[in-house]
Amino acid sequence: MKSFTYERATSPEQAAAIVADRPGAKFLAGGTNLLDLMKLEIETPTHLVDVQDLNLARIDEDTNGGLRIGALVSNTALAADDRVRRDYGVLTRAIVAGASGQLRNKATTAGNLLQRTRCPYFYDTNMPCNKRRPGSGCGALAGYSRQLAVVGSSEQCIATYPGDMAVALRVLDATVETVKAGGKTRSIPIAEFHRLPGDEPQRDNTLEHGELITAVVLPKPIGGRHIYHKVRDRASYAFALVSVAAVIQKDGSGRVAFGGVAHKPWRVEAAEAALHQGSSALTSRVFADARPTEDNKFKIPLAKRTLASVIAQTRA
Amino acid sequence: MEFNAPAGTNLFDRAKIVGHSTPRIDGPLKTTGTAPYAYERHDVAPDQAYGYIVGSAIAKGRIVSMDVADARAAPGVIAVVAAPDYAPVGQGQGNIAPLFGGGEIAHYHQAIACVVAETFEQARAASSLIRTRYDRAPGMFDLAEAAPGASLAKGRGGKPDLKTLGNFEAAFAAAPVKLDAKYTTPDESHAMMEPHATIAAWKGDQLTLWTSNQMIDWAKSSMAEILGIKPENVRVDSPFIGGGFGGKLFIRSDAVMAALAAKATGRPVKIALQRPLVANNTTHRHATIQRLRIGAERDGRITAIAHENWSGNIGGEKGEDGTLQTPKLYAGANRLTANYVAALDLPEGNAMRAPGEAAGHLALEVAMDELAERLGMDPIELRIRNEPETVPGNPGKKFSQRNLVRCLRQGADLFGWSHRRSKPGQVRDGRWLVGMGVAAGYRGGPVQKSGARVHMGNDGQITVETDMTDIGTGSYTIIAQTAAETMGVSLDRVTVKLGDSRFPASAGSGGQWGAASSTAGAYAACVSLRRAIGAKLGFDADTATFAEGKIHLSNRTIALSDAGPMTAEDSITFGEFKRDYDVGTYAAHFCEVAVEAYTGECRVRRMLAVCDAGRILNPLSARSQVIGGMVMAAGAALMEELAVDKRFGFFVNHDLAGYEVPVHADIPHQEVVFLDTQDPVSSPLKAKGVGELGICGPGAAVANALYNATGVRVRNYPITLDKYLEGLPEPEAI
Amino acid sequence: MERCGEYDLSRRGVLAASAASAAITAVPLPALAADQKRDPKAMPVSFEVNGNSVALSVDPRTTLLDALREHLKLTGTKKGCDHGQCGACTVLVNGARINSCLSLAVQHEGDKVTTIEGLGTPDQLHPMQAAFIKHDGYQCGYCTPGQICSAIAVLAEIEAGIPSHVQADIASQPKPSNMELRERMSGNICRCGAYSNIAEAMAEVAGASA
């Protein structure tokens, strides 16, 4: 871990201003991913701005009839919130399918969105990785890619976004609110928050340097059956091979997003009209442009089957 | 004491302590965080500095240059110990590539440098400032590609490891029912929770290592070999070991680098291998390719059986022999076993819990399941049909004890085997396909010479000292039970001190020989102490009764403490008579799994082991050993695999997020039954080990259950869902 | 198959020269950055550990885990992976369990930290510690302090109604069933495989407090 200086911010605007001012500065919230990566020198901030004292750990009812989740609400608190459990079950389900109790207690809502990939070539600094060291090549493309992306990947990068919470936020059409130095705020639809790797795999999302997430806003509840089905190699405490976040209405219509298959939560709204025809009809559209590797091509039938299981669960 | 004939009736047949479930005597320390592990011994040497190891970035080749100037200049750095500045160190027991030194790279993450600094944070930060240039050499990293060119391993006496009996080829050709199947098992990591760690300190030419090692006497002599110093100048101390499973049988780079760094700095140096280094820097269980050919009569009698095994290692050294159990388990007049080892440039393969058998059962016991299906027989009945009279691969040799049939029958009753549907894919529970599987298990019951020293204080308190280790096996407690029983005192009157090379050399912890050997050694020392007491007080200790802290003679009773402070030392050695017997341990393993019909997610629902392993010294901790083996076996069957990158030649998933071992949610309640047997050929306590028996067979039972649930047979481990997904019913049909 | 020196590595990507050519450099940094030549400035931090106030001056890089183990010599909290992948470092901070390896000491100003040493002693065991001994919920003992800290927290989390992955109805009050305990304990790996016994130890404590 490179040495760094540390300070605690007193307001979101001030935090944003400090980080914007220093190219090597980063925000520190829970730290559960950042410190992991700093120990390996995959992340090498020279200055950490700890945002824990900012008053961003509340969940409030929003004027639009939805919920405004503070950036620092812990994963545990968010999953346990009665309103979330009642109206946004897919979100609770996704959060508790991820990580462990210990990590969920420390990890924050904003930090969860900012998790970096678990690609093993990203994690091993002896290996080429365009995300970690742009221009060094992709070790995973012809390497061990079982966990990696099957769709939306590029010549440069086949990393997956590893999180669960954001997959649920994607079907809920959440919005990410941010503040920049000078106090300028913006709202980023979750669909536009995470990027595809393209030619710049080092950029996971569309935040600017020094832009601080302050909240995640959920629109008003949409009803329906909320299911998050995460398939992994062990029963808990593992990243998804494939996950499905679904909200399915009584008439068989609904919304579906997939985790573990791309550089971002993967949802193709245009394909959702096919949901009432069954999982095969939907997934053949969702994965029409898939370019899997030999190692991970199983994810496409697995995605179809996982969605079929979800549909069966809604009927049960 | 030489154990030179089968044990007759002895004090253990009337045991009040040995054989009774006893909570671990080290439990209060372990559960309160006060048991000291290697890296935690702040008190043993002042002024400890922190070492941080740098691993090679290439798998094979040489170091062209190493620039350590920036690292040396970094804050807090005391020294940088760099491979180019050292000749390769010597080879300790079990080492294949040099653990350090010189410019040659034999495997990925081989130690090439160690930074020593005042703090951990400084050492870690400076380690990344070392710039190394390499000349990469081509390497062979693909077992399947190398296997056809592999040579037969060297067996006993250096002879090629090919064993035949009768005429396998002819008998197999003539057999009316045949199976010919190939199985593969992957490289696996011990993944013990405590990474390899050592504190090293020199006093003149005397080196002390506070470390985490299963085999203290080997460690001491190996360290001397490695550094070119006298064994008597090495002390090794390892009272608590945070898991080993074979990964800590040998000296590894943590100990070597700590010793060299302590020499270079004149300070005690502490090092723990950082977790991402463990998989490639240390040893692992080798991958295997196994071919089973079994020919049988229509009634199930096996007439021909061949088991061939391929694995690889650096320089074609010691491999993983999956055939080990095959000459022991099932009858059959015509036999062949062969063990081939290829030269690979992956990290070093070496012993991991039940080396050979753990992988071998995953092939043999699935092959038996497949054969049973071809015969239309119940797999338990097939096994019973082939129960041998003498050792099948060596018919002149007797079994000391063998109750495998009892294990199978009792297990079948307990598990409800009669409810199993022999046709696969028939049982549904909602979205889940449910199946049952069975496997037999065999693991040898070896013993080794083992010594101990026993001291009785003025107060009659008994202290046992031996360099035996407790790697979670429960050694502290069974040795205390043995001493308490033999000396006739209560358990709380016994103190056990382990893991220090200043104590008499023991069998150590490996090959499931530890329990039987070390308790026999403690018994031998206690018998010596009894006799010394008798000599001092003028009575025959062998006919006296030692009970309740007193010595009872025909006409008088003496308090043990009256004998005053005394010390005796002895060891157990084992005589020639054992050669007439195969001493083994046996189990029947049962498993029920459920497989999600859509997604293929597999959940183990029930596991049962019925074990035949002689006298069980402490049923409470022995059961834990067996369930622990069952957990590791479930991991091997369903998820564990060190993934090989065949271009760069390394294990890619080298941390505990990438290398998945079972977690709580994967493991249901587990049942273990021990048959009430004693094996007089094994040891004076008539006991055998169970620590490796527990991993021999359950993985195959899982695999067979998964087949029974789904109807898809997967012969390449681990059986992850991608390998059988397409064989599951189509979603529309569910 | 592909061999070193003759890489044609992929259909869509190439390895950079630094990794594929004969001579490779593990660390490409051109020169030691100026800020790595200075000793990092120590920072003060004060918190409570097992009811005792402690004031430390630490390198900001020091994790809570290393502050406990190396500075305060409270070595009951274990380092198994240092990356949040094993749970051996679990401690309670303000009553909630966290991985102390993934937390900087300086993040914990004013916090109340409870470690295994604060739960009980060999002579005065916490009921969970006693239950682990009774049910042999451990073997090598290295993951044990983390398991016990987690076990205590899990029962409290169930009591507090925190939902879990295995609940059929996430809106309902969870119960300390075998499956609930196992799911919630899954962040604590035990390679010795004492899981079945740990679940029994926890069930006993849960039953006693229910």
* Model pLDDT for residues B329-375, shown as the tens digit of each residue: 999 999 999 999 999 999 999 999 999 999 999 999 999 999 999 99
Which pLDDT score is estimated for C208?
75
Q: Mutate one of A27, A35, A119 to test the C interface: name it (highest C CB count within 10 A).
A: A35
Token pair of B286, please? 């080798």
Q: Which of residues 659-688 of B touch A (CB under 8 A)?
A: 660, 662-666
Which pLDDT score is estimated for B392?
98
Q: Place C161 in a pLDDT band, splitting at 50, 70 and 90.
A: very high
- Decide: A129 and A138 in contact? Cβ < 8 Å: yes
Q: Place B554 in a pLDDT band, splitting at 50, 70 and 90.
A: confident
pLDDT tens sequence across B186-211:
999 999 999 999 999 999 999 999 99
Q: Do B646 and C1 touch (CB under 8 A)?
A: yes
Closest to B453 (Cα-Cα) out of B567, B541, B573: B567
Q: Residue C150: its chain A contacts at CB < 8 A?
A: 101-102
Average pLDDT value for residue range B704-717: 98
Evaluate whether residue C116 is within a structural domain.
Answer: no
Evaluate whether residue C180 is within a structural domain.
Answer: yes
- Decide: B617 and B688 in contact? Cβ < 8 Å: no
- With tokens 């527990």, the residue in question is B694
Q: Do B657 and A126 touch (CB under 8 A)?
A: no
Which pLDDT score is estimated for C27?
43
Token pair of B198, please? 């050592």
Give chain C's domain count: 2
Spell out the long-range contacts of A277-286 with Cβ–Cβ below 8 A and sequence spacing 24 or more. Answer: A278/A308, A278/A311, A278/B731, A278/B732, A279/A304, A279/A305, A279/A307, A279/A308, A279/A310, A279/A311, A279/B731, A280/A304, A280/A308, A280/B731, A280/B732, A282/A256, A282/A307, A283/A307, A286/A151, A286/A256, A286/A258
Q: Which of residues 114-143 of C touch B (CB under 8 A)?
A: 115-117, 119-123, 125, 129-130, 132-134, 136, 138-143
Judged against a pLDDT cut of 80, whether residue B80 lies above it is answered with yes
Q: Mutate one of A32, A41, A126 to test the B interface: name it (highest B CB count within 10 A).
A: A126
Q: Place C30 in a pLDDT band, splitting at 50, 70 and 90.
A: very low
| The length of chain A, given as a count of residues | 316
Which pLDDT score is estimated for C22?
38
Which pLDDT score is estimated for C13?
35
Which pLDDT score is estimated for C41?
87
Q: Do B645 and A144 touch (CB under 8 A)?
A: yes
| Closest-CA residue of chain A to B649 | A143
Evaluate whether residue C185 is within a structural domain.
Answer: yes
Candidates A3, A86, A103; nearest CB to C171: A86
Which pLDDT score is estimated for B228?
98
CB burial class (10 A; 0-12, 13-18, 19+) of residue B376? exposed
How far apart (Å, rounded) are the C-alpha atoms in residues B321 and B328?
A: 14
Which pLDDT score is estimated for C37?
65
DSSP B597: T
CA distance A216 to chain B (A): 28
Judged against a pLDDT cut of 80, whether residue C166 lies above it is answered with yes
Candidates C2, C12, C170; nearest CB to A85: C170
Kind of pairing between the strands at C112-114 and C43-49: parallel
Q: Do B652 and A124 touch (CB under 8 A)?
A: yes
Candidates B431, B638, B652; nearest CB to A143: B652
- Decide: B429 and B594 in contact? Cβ < 8 Å: yes
Average pLDDT value for residue range B307-330: 97
Average pLDDT value for residue range B592-606: 98
Candidates C27, C38, C165; nearest CB to A236: C165
Q: Do C195 and B667 touch (CB under 8 A)?
A: yes
What are φ and ψ of residue B635, in 5° steps?
Answer: -65, -45
Token pair of A65, please? 């009839």
CA distance C119 to chain B (A): 8
pLDDT tens sequence across B417-455:
999 999 999 999 999 999 999 999 999 999 999 999 999
Question: CB neighbours (10 Å) of residue B647?
Answer: 21
Q: Residue C150: its chain B contacts at CB < 8 A?
A: none
b (16+ CB within 10 A) / e for A6-33 = bbbbeebbbbbbbbbeeeebbbbbbbbb
Which pLDDT score is estimated for B578?
97
Closest to A24 (Cα-Cα) out of A3, A42, A45: A45
Q: Residue B25: its chain C contacts at CB < 8 A?
A: none
- Over pLDDT 90: what percentage of chain B? 97
| Closest-CA residue of chain C to B626 | C193
Average pLDDT value for residue range B522-551: 95
Q: Helix B619-638 and helix B698-710: axis angle, to 10°?
A: 50
Q: Residue C2: its chain A contacts at CB < 8 A?
A: 142
Cα R_g (chain A), whole angstroms? 19
Average pLDDT value for residue range B507-535: 97
Candidates A3, A102, A127; nearest CB to C35: A3
Phi-psi region of A65 (alpha: psi -120 to 50; beta: other; left: phi over 0): left
Q: Place B731 in a pLDDT band, splitting at 50, 70 and 90.
A: confident
Q: Place C209 in a pLDDT band, splitting at 50, 70 and 90.
A: low
Which pLDDT score is estimated for C6?
31
Question: CB neighbours (10 Å) of residue B495?
Answer: 16
| Closest-CA residue of chain B to A238 | B657
pLDDT tens sequence across A31-77:
999 999 999 999 999 999 999 999 999 999 999 999 999 999 999 99
Q: Place C7 in a pLDDT band, splitting at 50, 70 and 90.
A: very low
Which pLDDT score is estimated for B159?
87
Q: Do C186 and A235 touch (CB under 8 A)?
A: yes
CA distance B270 to chain A (A): 19
pLDDT tens sequence across A226-255:
999 999 999 999 999 999 999 999 999 999
- Do B2-35+447-579 and B400-444+583-734 come out as alike in CATH topology? yes
pLDDT tens sequence across B227-242:
999 999 999 999 999 9
Question: CB neighbours (10 Å) of residue B76?
Answer: 20
Q: Which of residues 222-241 of B touch C (CB under 8 A)?
A: 240-241
- The ranges assigned to domains in chain B are 2-35+447-579, 44-138+198-278, 400-444+583-734
Judged against a pLDDT cut of 50, whether residue C2 lies above it is answered with no
pLDDT tens sequence across C49-61:
999 999 999 999 9
| Closest-CA residue of chain C to B54 | C26
Alpha carbon separation from A196 to A154, A193, B99, B197, C142 (Å, rounded): 8, 10, 43, 42, 42
- Over pLDDT 70: what percentage of chain B? 100
How far apart (Å, rounded) are the C-alpha atoms in residues B648 and C1?
A: 12
Q: Place B157 in a pLDDT band, splitting at 50, 70 and 90.
A: confident
Which residue range is the domain that position C14 belongs to?
Answer: 2-32
Q: Place B733 in a pLDDT band, splitting at 50, 70 and 90.
A: confident
DSSP B694: G
Kind of pairing between the strands at A242-248 and A225-231: antiparallel
* CATH code of the domain containing C169: 1.10.150.120
Q: CATH assignment of B2-35+447-579, given 3.30.365.10, 3.40.50.620, 3.40.50.300, 3.30.1330.10? A: 3.30.365.10
Q: Do C23 and B135 touch (CB under 8 A)?
A: yes
Token pair of B178, please? 């045949």
CB burial class (10 A; 0-12, 13-18, 19+) of residue B572? buried
C178 in contact with chain B, both atoms CB, cutoff 8 A: yes
Judged against a pLDDT cut of 60, whether residue C15 lies above it is answered with no
CA distance B628 to chain A (A): 17
Candidates C29, C83, C125; nearest CB to B28: C125
Q: In what order do the strands lie in the sheet with A254-259?
A: A225-231, A242-248, A254-259
How far apart (Å, rounded) are the C-alpha atoms in residues B702 and B589?
A: 9
How far apart (Å, rounded) are the C-alpha atoms in residues A26 and A212?
A: 10
The alpha carbon of A176 is separated from its chain's Cα centroid by a whole number of angstroms, namely 12
DSSP C43: E
pLDDT tens sequence across A131-153:
999 999 999 999 999 999 999 99
Q: Residue B665: its chain A contacts at CB < 8 A?
A: 234-237
C-alpha dihedral (B254, B255, B261, B267), degrees to nearest 10: 120
C61 in contact with chain B, both atoms CB, cutoff 8 A: yes
Alpha carbon separation from C128 to B331, B722, C149, C202 (Å, rounded): 49, 40, 9, 7
- Decide: B275 and B254 in contact? Cβ < 8 Å: no
Q: Which residues contact B578 (CB under 8 A, 6 or more apart)?
A: B447, B681
CA distance B650 to chain A (A): 11
B714 in contact with chain A, both atoms CB, cutoff 8 A: no
Judged against a pLDDT cut of 60, whether residue C33 lies above it is answered with no
- Decide: B346 and B650 in contact? Cβ < 8 Å: yes
Question: CB neighbours (10 Å) of residue B554?
Answer: 8
DSSP B25: T
Q: Residue C197: its chain B contacts at CB < 8 A?
A: 624, 627
| The length of chain B, given as a count of residues | 734
DSSP helix/strand/coil, B128: coil
Q: Encode C76-122 in three state secondary structure.
A: CCCCCCCCCCCCCCEEEECCEEEEHHHCEHHHHCCCEEECHHHCCEC
Q: Which of residues 473-512 of B touch C (CB under 8 A)?
A: 473-474
The pLDDT mean for chain B works out to 97
- With tokens 């199946």, the residue in question is B435
Q: What is the ipTM of this complex?
A: 0.98
Q: Mutate one of A1, A2, A3, A234 to test the C interface: name it (highest C CB count within 10 A).
A: A3
Determine whether B692 is an active site residue.
yes
Residue of B692, B726, B730, B732 marked catalytic: B692
Q: Do C16 and A136 touch (CB under 8 A)?
A: yes
Candidates C7, C74, C143; nearest CB to B647: C7
Candidates C11, C15, C170; nearest CB to A128: C15
Which pLDDT score is estimated for B234?
98
Please give the CATH topology (third level) of the domain spanning B44-138+198-278: Aldehyde Oxidoreductase; domain 4 (3.30.365)
B603 in contact with chain A, both atoms CB, cutoff 8 A: yes
- With tokens 């021990």, the residue in question is B674
Which pLDDT score is estimated for B732?
84
CA distance B365 to chain C (A): 23
- Decide: B464 and B569 in contact? Cβ < 8 Å: no
| Closest-CA residue of chain B to C72 | B42
Q: If you count DSSP H runs as helices and E runs as strands, how many of each does chain C have, helices first? A: 6, 6
Q: Place B549 in a pLDDT band, splitting at 50, 70 and 90.
A: very high
CA distance A168 to chain B (A): 20
Token pair of C133, please? 């001994």
- With tokens 């914007």, the residue in question is A20
Average pLDDT value for residue range B172-180: 98
Q: Encode chain A in three state secondary structure.
A: CCCCEEEECCCHHHHHHHHHHCCCEEEECCCCCHHHHHHCCCCCCCEEEECCCCCCCCEEECCCCCEEEECCCEHHHHHHCHHHHHHCHHHHHHHHCCCCHHHHHHCEHHHHHCCCCCCHHHHCCCCCCCCCCCCCECCCCCCCCCCCCCCCCCCCCCCCCCCCHHHHHHHCCCEEEEECHHHCEEEEEHHHHECCCCCCCCCCECCCCCCEEEEEEECCCCCCEEEEEEECCCCCCCCCCEEEEEEECCCCCEEEEEECCCCCCECCHHHHHHHHHCHHHHHHHHCCCCCCCCCCCCHHHHHHHHHHHHHHHHHC
Judged against a pLDDT cut of 60, whether residue C24 lies above it is answered with no
State the sign of the Cα–Cα–Cα–Cα dihedral B613, B619, B625, B628. positive
C148 in contact with chain B, both atoms CB, cutoff 8 A: yes
Q: Do A236 and B639 touch (CB under 8 A)?
A: no
**What does pTM read for this prediction?**
0.97
How far apart (Å, rounded) are the C-alpha atoms in residues B512 and B443?
A: 9
- Minimum mean pLDDT range among A169-183, B578-592, C28-42: C28-42
Candidates C2, C16, C183; nearest CB to A128: C16
Alpha carbon separation from C35 to A26, B115, B722, C38 (Å, rounded): 16, 19, 48, 6
State the CATH class of domain B400-444+583-734. alpha beta
Evaluate whether residue C79 is within a structural domain.
Answer: no
Peptide bond into B46 cis (omega under 30): no
How far apart (Å, rounded) are the C-alpha atoms in residues C145 and B34?
A: 10
Q: Place C34 in a pLDDT band, splitting at 50, 70 and 90.
A: low
